[in-house]
Amino acid sequence: MKKGLEKAEVLLEALPFIKSFYGKTIVVKYGGAAMVSEELKTNFALDIVMMKYVGINPVIVHGGGPQINKTLDALGIKSQFIDGQRVTSAETIDVVEMVLGGKVNKEIVSLISRHGGNAVGISGKDGDLITARRHRKTKLSPETERPEIIDLGLVGEVTRINPKILTVLDENGFIPVIAPTGKGEDDETLNINADFVAAEIAIALKAEKLILMTDAPGVLDADGKLISEMTPAIAKKLSKSKVIKGGMLPKVNCCLTALKKGVHKTHIIDGRQKHAALLEIFTEKGIGTQIISE
């Protein structure tokens, strides 16, 4: 009886959130450990199916860095990174497209389908979903103390999102699972950071929420404690003082861009936590960092 009452209390706690988000779109960037552990992969699929069945429209954008590295190593192709960004040659982009659009994407689709959801896997090239241009990274030269352009190869940045294909999938009850590649100006395939893709898709869909899953508890303060909620002003202050740094900095910037362009709330959560997405959406405190408009 006690366990039954506890389950009932959990459902009642979730009820106002289910009512609030019914019919709304939530974009989830799926990556990190949650894509490696079999248990966490299953939990994620169940979370997404649960969202769909209670009337939420989830859209998934996934990464796949470890899977790409593994395949490149097996083929004897050396991985090169500059400031955490993969240098993508013509040889590498073929592997990236094969792993992201083929292996990883279809595994996620199959897992969701196995647990009762109707998922469709696409890449940014399908239906002209993502148009991009080559990303031009600049870095201060230690010799000349002047900015110099670093060529990352076939690495892209989003210039346009055409959400028509996502709208069609949603209207027909499907869950879109998106591989973060896009079509470049010369029709070449470009490899794009999944966090940035998720943010741009959330903006284009006027999403209620953008959720970025990572391998950290969320944003931490100077003492290493989790910040449960913060505003853009606080985020900018912590970035300026380098409390927010490293790989967390671009994630926070993605959230700030999404908020500025109309997404209602953004979240950075720990994908290593079982049922992380559900806990963040359907509980009062959540488990990660919520960044909200002022």
Residue-wise pLDDT for 26-84, tens only, equals: 999 998 878 888 899 999 999 999 999 999 999 999 998 888 888 989 998 887 777 66
pTM given for the model: 0.91
Closest to 88 (Cα-Cα) out of 103, 72, 110, 106: 72
Q: Is residue 108 part of a domain?
A: yes
- Give the N- to C-terminal CA distance of the chain in Å, as an integer: 44
Query: CATH number of the domain that 65 lies in?
Result: 3.40.1160.10
Q: Is residue 127 part of a domain?
A: yes
Q: What count of residues does the chain have? A: 294
DSSP E strand boundaries for the chain: 25-30, 57-62, 81-82, 85-86, 119-123, 130-140, 147-161, 175-179, 181-183, 189-192, 209-214, 229-230, 265-270, 289-292
Mean local confidence (pLDDT), 272-290: 88
Q: Is residue 233 part of a domain?
A: yes
Mean pLDDT for the chain?
88
DSSP state of 195: H
Closest to 124 (Cα-Cα) out of 153, 100, 93, 94: 100
What domain range includes position 222?
24-292
Q: Is residue 5 part of a domain?
A: no
- CA distances for 215 relative to 191, 239, 251, angstroms: 21, 19, 12
Q: Is residue 17 part of a domain?
A: no
Q: Is residue 7 part of a domain?
A: no
* Residue 44 structure tokens: 């994620």
Q: Is residue 19 part of a domain?
A: no
Q: How confident is the model at residue 3 (pLDDT cuts 50, 70, 90)?
A: low
pLDDT for residue 16: 81
Q: Is residue 9 part of a domain?
A: no
Q: What residues have CB less than 8 Å from 99, skipping those under 6 apart? A: 64, 67, 68, 71
Q: Which amino acid is at 119?
A: A
Number of domains in the chain: 1
